Amino acid sequence: MAKEIETTNAINLISAGTSVNGDIDSNSGFRIDGQLKGKMNIKGKVVIGASGMITGDIFCQNLEVSGEVNGNIQAGELVSLKATAKVNGEIITSKLAIEPGAVFSGNCRMDRDTDARRKEILLPPK
């Protein structure tokens, strides 16, 4: 029997003007207003602010992008691209919302089986 991973309500932040190189694993939400070069494995929601930029793959439950992502995205529930978003890479999710003005260059695969998707997110490929 698999152990249930508990998420918390805490929000982690990489603020504007901050640059991080390396992978991030967290059981709580994350907001990026600075720059990250590395993979994110987040059990909660990820928000990328208008000044935020990620170069690397993102595995999360929900994702809201106002900034820039150069990498693949795998979300268990919803990916929301705001009008200022720029995404280069593949998106795998159950639901995708793209506002007018957002730029998305890549492929998207949508799957309604969110239970299977959640299991994939908990164990992202190495």
pLDDT, tens digit, for every residue of 63-111?
Answer: 999 999 999 999 999 999 999 999 999 999 999 999 999 999 999 999 8
Q: How many CB atoms lie within 10 A of CB 65?
A: 28
95 has which bridge partners? 78
pLDDT tens by residue, 39-56: 999 999 999 999 999 999
Residues sharing a CB contact under 8 Å with residue 125, sequence separation 6 or more, in sequence order: none
DSSP per-residue string spanning 28-74: SEEEESSEEES-EEESSEEEE-TT-EEES-EEEEEEEESSEEES-EE
* CA atoms of 116 and 15, how far apart (whole Å): 33
For tokens 């998305």, what's the residue?
104
Please state the pTM of the whole predicted model: 0.83
